[in-house]
A and B are shown apart, each in its own frame.
Chain A
Amino acid sequence: MSATDAPTADERILRTSPLRKLLGRPELGSVVGAIAVFVFFALAADSFLRAASLSTVLYASSTIGIMAVPVALLMIGGEFDLSAGVMVTSSALISSMFSYQMTANVWVGVGVSLLVTLAVGAFNGFMLTRTKLPSFIITLGTFLMLTGMNLGFTKLIDGTVSTKTIADMEGFPSARDVFASTITVGGVGFKITIVWWLALVAVASWILLRTRAGNWIFAVGGNQDAARAVGVPVAKTKIGLYMGVAFGAWIAGQHLLFSYDVVQSGEGVGNELIYIIAAVIGGCLITGGYGSAVGSAVGAFIFGMTSKGIVFAEWNPDWFKFFLGAMLLLATLLNAWVRKRAEATK
């Protein structure tokens, strides 16, 4: 039966044109959008196409992108994390204050910060899976608690709203190399966060598309009950995703600390929405079950191009949020349209 069917099957597979395959990709809409934004600013700002400008744009993109990747995975898994923005600040504060107060090598603080931040992520996931409340509520609670703790602990320990400098402490230079150094390629300096960002995109894509965990992420976001019924560990998958966000927050937080020596405890509020926007522009369905890590990177890149492009074009940066909002609407409409087209051709 299969032998006689094989030629027919091949014939029909030929009908699967590369174009249709491309149309089926979740990140297509964002790639089209990214090209449009790129062309737009290339025409609007003469300095936009210079290598130094590219470096600036990539740096801005990477600081968003590092968080957009795990946030996108979480969204594919069907959940939100509103505490992601302030968690970055918390992670930086923990690292800085622990090292300073204990007069320890800064790497000890970095390690403690990793453990505590992962614990916060695990807490989010655990609360979500145990209480079955919407993640919007759970992480809104964590968001507010972390915001309060960031300010409260910093004032309590350091007396002001920012931490003391740790630039002269042991281990600082090597930690700065890892989290906040600049790599020069062809005379142009690129921030190391770009490397972290691309590495995270690569690892996340591999997990999503090639591992069992990736299959589970799509499944818990796409149909949680079906996933549970066939034996997917739903709770473990979700807790893992929240810990992934925490891991991203740790990297972003350490970058924040080691590029400025001090941390402002009020920072990070509002960034959680920016990460979500990047993921949505990148083709993640807000209802879960669909999206990609590469898409989130393209979303973050659009973000970086817009925020810096406005500066290069010498426009009033007050308009940035307007552009961002318009872009979000356009990208989401484009994504929806592309998906409909892709499904219609099937």
Chain B
Amino acid sequence: MTRNPNRTALVELSGVSKHYGNVRALEGVSLTVRAGEITCVLGDNGAGKSTLIKIVSGLHQHDGGTLALDGEETRLASPRDALDRGIATVYQDLAVVPLMPVWRNFFLGSEPRKGIAPFKRMDVDLMRRTTRAELLRMGIDLRDVDQPIDTLSGGERQCVAIARAVYFGAKVLVLDEPTAALGVKQSGVVLKYVAAARDQGLGVVLITHNPHHAYLVGDRFVLLKRGTMVGNHERDDITLDELTRQMAGGNELDDLRHELQRP
């Protein structure tokens, strides 16, 4: 993996802000995503991570600042628009339709079809076969792609969603807290696929509040706090300890430590 700062970023946000009525959700946030790199967005609950992700994935539009794709300033009109431009988002809780079979979920929204106009139908065989093969490639061996997706474990569901984004030729993968609800082992599995996606040349935005997970795979770290950006570091500029310290509240933590110190 080579880092080339001169190459155009896949996604470049600069000074982006977003207001909901009179609530300032995001102010002056910058973010760079390059191919084959992982940009981590860290922040506590309510720091603005979700708002940021919604802007990148086209669910919301930004009020201020600029968003550029491949160096071209633009606006994302809808999630569909974002998808068409190669930005795929995997949400922590709303990634899948629980009662639907795995193969239907895998292709949802981008179903391959065959046949002529009034009799156009989904290519079910292809969908079943592809789902099985793509998941096998990620090391998930499903005995039945017809089983409802909520019968899979949380980590497997995340992997299905990631496999799906990779299969559909995403250039940028946005992952919302992919390890938040998972155990240690499952988190490791998911992080391996995140790294695998990076190695395939995708630009990854990893949203998390776990600095340890972030530091394992990240190339760049954006720290958010109460809607503003409090840090934007290259991997070389920061250690895990420093990242953890900043993430945990930095000086506030020092104060807290002082306060809680045993006599």
Binding site for B on A (CB under 8 A): 1-2, 5, 8-9, 12-13, 15-16, 206, 210-212, 214-215, 218-219, 222-223, 225-233, 285, 289-290, 343, 346
Q: Is B216's beta carbon under 8 Å from chain A?
A: no
Could you list 20 further interchain pairs (A-B, Cβ under 8 angstroms) beyond the known A1-B137, A232-B109, A346-B151? A1-B136, A5-B136, A9-B143, A12-B143, A13-B143, A210-B124, A211-B122, A212-B113, A212-B120, A212-B122, A215-B122, A218-B97, A218-B104, A219-B97, A219-B100, A222-B97, A223-B97, A226-B96, A285-B99, A346-B147
How far apart are B103's CB and chain A's nearest CB, in angstroms? 10
How far apart are A67's CB and chain B's nearest CB, in angstroms? 24
By beta carbon, the residue of chain A nearest B150 is: A343
Give the chain A neighbours of B148 by CB distance below 8 A.
Answer: 343, 346
Interface mask (B92-112 → A, CB under 8 Å = 1, otherwise 0): 001111111000100111110
A233 CA / B59 CA spacing, docked (Å): 13
Give the chain B neighbours of A8 by CB distance below 8 A.
Answer: 141
Q: Are A227 and B144 in contact (CB under 8 A)?
A: no
Q: Are B121 and A211 in contact (CB under 8 A)?
A: yes
Closest 9 A-B residue pairs measured CB to CB? A230-B109, A222-B97, A231-B109, A231-B80, A12-B143, A223-B97, A212-B111, A226-B94, A225-B94
How far apart are B122's CB and chain A's nearest CB, in angstroms? 6
Q: Are B141 and A9 in contact (CB under 8 A)?
A: yes
By beta carbon, the residue of chain B nearest A12 is: B143
Q: Is B181's beta carbon under 8 Å from chain A?
A: no
Interface mask (B68-110 → A, CB under 8 Å = 1, otherwise 0): 0000000000011001000001010011111110001001111
Q: Are B143 and A16 in contact (CB under 8 A)?
A: yes
Binding site for A on B (CB under 8 A): 57, 59, 79-80, 83, 89, 91, 94-100, 104, 107-111, 113, 120-122, 124, 133, 136-137, 141, 143-144, 147-148, 151
How far apart are B149's CB and chain A's nearest CB, in angstroms? 10
Interface residue SS majority, chain A: helix
Give the chain B neighbours of A222 by CB distance below 8 A.
Answer: 97-100
Q: Are A231 and B100 in contact (CB under 8 A)?
A: no
**Given A215-B104, A343-B151, A5 and B141 touching (CB < 8 A)?**
yes
21 sample A-B contacts, Cβ–Cβ < 8 Å, listed by A number: A13-B143, A16-B143, A215-B108, A218-B97, A219-B97, A222-B100, A223-B98, A226-B91, A226-B97, A227-B97, A229-B57, A229-B59, A229-B89, A231-B80, A231-B109, A232-B108, A233-B80, A289-B100, A343-B151, A346-B144, A346-B147
Interface centre among A15, A228, A230, A285 (most CB of B within 10 A): A230
Q: Are A227 and B109 in contact (CB under 8 A)?
A: yes
A211 CA / B89 CA spacing, docked (Å): 25
Give the tally of cross-chain contacts (CB within 8 A). 93
By beta carbon, the residue of chain A nearest B113 is: A212
By beta carbon, the residue of chain A nearest B82 is: A231
A290 CA / B101 CA spacing, docked (Å): 11
By beta carbon, the residue of chain A nearest B132 is: A9
Q: Are B122 and A231 in contact (CB under 8 A)?
A: no
A12 CA / B145 CA spacing, docked (Å): 12
A1 CA / B82 CA spacing, docked (Å): 34
Q: Are A229 and B97 in contact (CB under 8 A)?
A: no
**Given A218-B99, A222-B97, A222-B98, A2 and B133 touching (CB < 8 A)?**
yes
A332 CA / B121 CA spacing, docked (Å): 32
A1 CA / B104 CA spacing, docked (Å): 24
How far apart are A142's CB and chain B's nearest CB, in angstroms? 28
A212 CA / B107 CA spacing, docked (Å): 10
Interface centre among B97, B100, B120, B137 (most CB of A within 10 A): B97
A289 CA / B149 CA spacing, docked (Å): 13
- Cβ 8 A contact of B108, one of A2, A227, A289, A290: A227
Q: Are B122 and A15 in contact (CB under 8 A)?
A: no
- Cβ 8 A contact of A229, one of B91, B99, B122, B143: B91
Q: Are A210 and B98 in contact (CB under 8 A)?
A: no
Give the chain B neighbours of A12 by CB distance below 8 A.
Answer: 143
By beta carbon, the residue of chain A nearest B84 is: A231
Give the chain A neighbours of B120 by CB distance below 8 A.
Answer: 211-212
Give the chain A neighbours of B147 by CB distance below 8 A.
Answer: 346
Give the chain B neighbours of A285 by CB distance below 8 A.
Answer: 99
Q: Are A290 and B94 in contact (CB under 8 A)?
A: no
Give the chain A neighbours of B79 by CB distance below 8 A.
Answer: 228-231
Interface centre among A206, A215, A218 (most CB of B within 10 A): A215
A227 CA / B96 CA spacing, docked (Å): 8
**Given A211-B120, A229-B59, A289 and B99 touching (CB < 8 A)?**
yes
Give the chain A neighbours of B100 by CB distance below 8 A.
Answer: 215, 218-219, 222, 289
Q: Are A15 and B143 in contact (CB under 8 A)?
A: yes
